[in-house]
């Protein structure tokens, strides 16, 4: 082993791995269909953070026999706070000027972000991370909240364990806690659950960060030898590259609806990640050489700022389009603005403040940088007045609270102008169809009651097929010949043919219409294909292809690309009138 050096060791391979992680996250947020598992990049950041922080603290303890907690917290503040404060101030200013419609919610999110409790705030506010039903440009800060909570408590716990017990006890303790966190997540999970509680929770996500902690104990980069035996060098490189490739495949194959993630999957992928890290921090690893390419290390150094800025920019741009139906130039604008603001934040906020502290704000230095600030603000203003003022023809609904029909949950609705095509007709007024579905059904409830006065409408926000199956038992008395059942069950998560058959069997004597879904998630095509498969194998099942009807009609949809605006409500009503008789 090499002797300890006082200077912090630079690990270019980790910067390269950071680059892969942040690129994956950005691609996922641009469009989940591009990289369904890109959100797993957050776990890579968690593990890297746990590894680096523990390495720094263990090194200090070995050299001094204690930990200077004040110095540690001061460095964390200088490293993290200025960039995020710059983001919060800039975002708030922009929204005051150009996006007043989201200010009410944004102010609450800013407070949570300022105190690094965003993850618990989103749990309390019942936010679904994977279904962005409203613009929340700070939603991505949940992960930084978990990291900061970790930074507050972990050094104290580590110091107590090392002082009062031993290094071995610390390793055992953190191993047990990591396993408990993984088991706790698996215990809370069940099919059909809204997984954001599991995804946001510090308790459930601690597992991956602690894996990084454990790696720092057993594989400290500062003690790794150069020029190891050829067999060891080959093993380190092969194992590292193999796990790295598996991780890259998982980014493409896994999605947020993959149940195994919450039943040990995060932990398993975390083990692969620490194997990757172990390889990329070794001085003679082939993976280290691959991840140390100049472009990757440059992106890696910008990764914190890129992470901070990409999501607000994406949300604010997409707020003026239908989610999942963006033109190509919108993606170019999102990427360009992300790089620009991240570069500015890194070079003029993050780095100088870390080096100089408050002296960075001396008058003469601020004057020298004033032209750059003016240019940036001018660009921001230009974007606000020119690009964002060129909205699509889609206008937000004027909502009024309604609870009608047989709705399980109230939902904000808007009145729709009836036409001769959608009004009640002799063909529909005597029908008594049963509609079971989610918030899309809630959107069109007024139209349905107008078109089918005798209909039973049961819609609930967030309802998945796993909730629809037991609900169907309440309507068993309607499972009879001549009855019509219409099912909206594809919006809120993936499912398999077994679940679909289970639901269809509840109404095997009726005429069933399955409404295909349009949802900007990776499972969209899968659930639609299952509906068509069921229709081809069951004589009593037909498909109402809303996906086909709504193709190339962004004016049908609200911001989220799921819920309906006036033209969409009209089009869906017309689809029912022409098909259900």
Q: Facing residues of 400 across strands?
A: 413
Please give the structure tokens belonging to residue 424: 């009640």
Give the chain's length: 581
The dihedral over CA atoms of 272, 275, 280, 286, expressed in degrees to the nearest 10, equals: -90
Please give the structure tokens belonging to residue 414: 């808007």
With CA atoms as reference, report the closest residue to 94 among 379, 492, 362, 354: 379
Q: Which residues contact 429 (CB under 8 A, 6 or more apart)?
A: 452, 453, 454
Q: At what angle are helices 202-218 and 41-64 packed, to 10 degrees?
A: 50
What is residue 131's three-state secondary structure? coil
439: left (phi over 0), alpha (psi -120 to 50) or beta: alpha
With CA atoms as reference, report the closest residue to 314 among 32, 110, 5: 32
The dihedral over CA atoms of 536, 540, 546, 547, expressed in degrees to the nearest 10, equals: -20
What is residue 46's three-state secondary structure? helix
Q: What is the DSSP string of 331-345?
A: HHHHHHHHHHHHHHH
Residue 284 near residue 227 (C-beta atoms within 8 A): yes
518: left (phi over 0), alpha (psi -120 to 50) or beta: beta
CB atoms within 10 A of CB 249: 11
Q: Which residues contact 419 (CB under 8 A, 6 or more apart)?
A: 570
With CA atoms as reference, report the closest residue to 129 among 14, 39, 7: 39
Residue 25 near residue 256 (C-beta atoms within 8 A): no
The H-or-E segment that residue 402 falls in is strand 400-402
Residue 322 near residue 561 (C-beta atoms within 8 A): yes
Cα(first)–Cα(last) distance of the chain, in Å?
A: 80
Going by the DSSP 8-state scheme, the letter that residue 349 receives in this structure is I
Residue 424 near residue 453 (C-beta atoms within 8 A): yes
Integer Cα distance of 461 and 458 in angstroms:
10
- For residue 155, give Cα distances in angstroms to 146, 452, 498: 15, 64, 48
The H-or-E segment that residue 569 falls in is helix 566-579
Integer Cα distance of 7 and 403 in angstroms:
65
Helices (H), 65-139: 69-98, 103-114, 118-124
With CA atoms as reference, report the closest residue to 568 among 552, 580, 579, 388: 552
With CA atoms as reference, report the closest residue to 388 among 97, 81, 13: 97
Q: Which positions are annotated as active-site residues?
A: 439, 560, 563
């Amino acid at each position: 082993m090499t002797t300890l050096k006082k200077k912090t060791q630079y690990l270019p391979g980790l910067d390269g791995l950071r680059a892969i992680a942040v690129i994956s996250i950005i691609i996922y947020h641009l469009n989940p269909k591009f990289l369904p598992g890109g959100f797993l990049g957050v776990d890579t950041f968690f593990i890297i953070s746990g590894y680096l922080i523990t390495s720094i603290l263990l090194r200090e303890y070995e050299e001094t026999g204690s930990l200077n907690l004040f110095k540690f917290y001061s460095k964390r503040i200088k490293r993290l706070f200025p960039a995020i404060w710059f983001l919060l101030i800039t975002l708030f200013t922009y929204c005051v000027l150009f996006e007043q419609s989201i200010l009410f919610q944004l102010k609450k999110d800013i407070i949570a972000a300022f105190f690094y409790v965003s993850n618990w705030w989103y749990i309390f506010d019942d936010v679904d991370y994977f279904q962005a039903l409203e613009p929340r440009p700070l939603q991505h800060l949940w992960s930084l909240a978990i990291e900061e909570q970790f930074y507050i408590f972990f050094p104290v716990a580590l110091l107590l364990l090392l002082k009062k017990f031993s290094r071995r006890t610390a390793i055992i303790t953190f191993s047990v806690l990591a396993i408990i966190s993984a088991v706790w997540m698996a215990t809370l999970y069940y099919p059909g659950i809204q997984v954001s509680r599991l995804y946001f929770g510090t308790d459930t996500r601690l597992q991956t960060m602690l894996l990084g902690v454990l790696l720092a104990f057993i594989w400290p980069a500062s003690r790794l030898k150069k020029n190891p035996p050829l067999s060891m060098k080959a093993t380190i490189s092969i194992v590292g590259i193999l796990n790295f490739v598996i991780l890259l495949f998982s980014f493409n194959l896994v999605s947020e609806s993959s149940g195994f993630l919450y039943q040990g999957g995060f932990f398993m992928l975390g083990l692969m990640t620490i194997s990757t890290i172990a390889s990329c921090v070794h001085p003679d690893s082939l993976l280290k050489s691959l991840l140390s390419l100049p472009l990757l290390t440059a992106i890696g150094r910008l990764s914190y700022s890129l992470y901070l800025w990409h999501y607000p920019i994406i949300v604010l741009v997409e707020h003026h389009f239908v989610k999942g139906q963006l033109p190509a130039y919108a993606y170019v604008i999102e990427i360009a603005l992300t790089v620009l603001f991240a570069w500015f934040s890194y070079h003029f906020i993050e780095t100088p403040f870390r080096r100089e502290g408050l002296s960075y704000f001396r008058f003469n230095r601020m004057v020298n940088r004033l032209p750059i600030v003016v240019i940036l603000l001018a660009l921001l203003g230009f974007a606000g007045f020119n690009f964002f003022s060129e909205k699509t023809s889609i206008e937000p609904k004027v909502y009024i609270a309604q609870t009608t029909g047989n709705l399980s949950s109230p939902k904000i609705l808007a009145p729709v102008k009836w036409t001769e095509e959608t009004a009640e007709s002799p063909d529909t007024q005597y029908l008594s169809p049963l509609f079971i579905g989610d918030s899309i059904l809630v959107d069109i409830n007024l139209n349905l009651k107008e078109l089918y006065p005798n209909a039973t409408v049961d819609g609930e926000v967030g309802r998945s097929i796993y909730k629809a199956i037991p609900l169907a038992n309440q309507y068993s008395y309607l499972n009879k010949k001549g009855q019509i059942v219409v099912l909206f069950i594809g919006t809120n998560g993936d499912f398999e043919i077994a679940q679909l058959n289970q639901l269809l069997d509840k109404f095997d004597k009726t005429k069933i219409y399955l409404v295909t879904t349009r949802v900007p998630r990776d499972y969209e095509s899968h659930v639609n294909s299952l509906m068509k498969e069921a229709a081809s194998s069951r004589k009593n099942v037909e498909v109402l292809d809303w996906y086909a009807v709504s193709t190339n009609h962004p004016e049908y949809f609200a911001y989220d690309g799921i819920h309906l605006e006036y033209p969409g409500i009209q089009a869906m009503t017309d689809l029912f009138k022409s098909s259900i008789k």
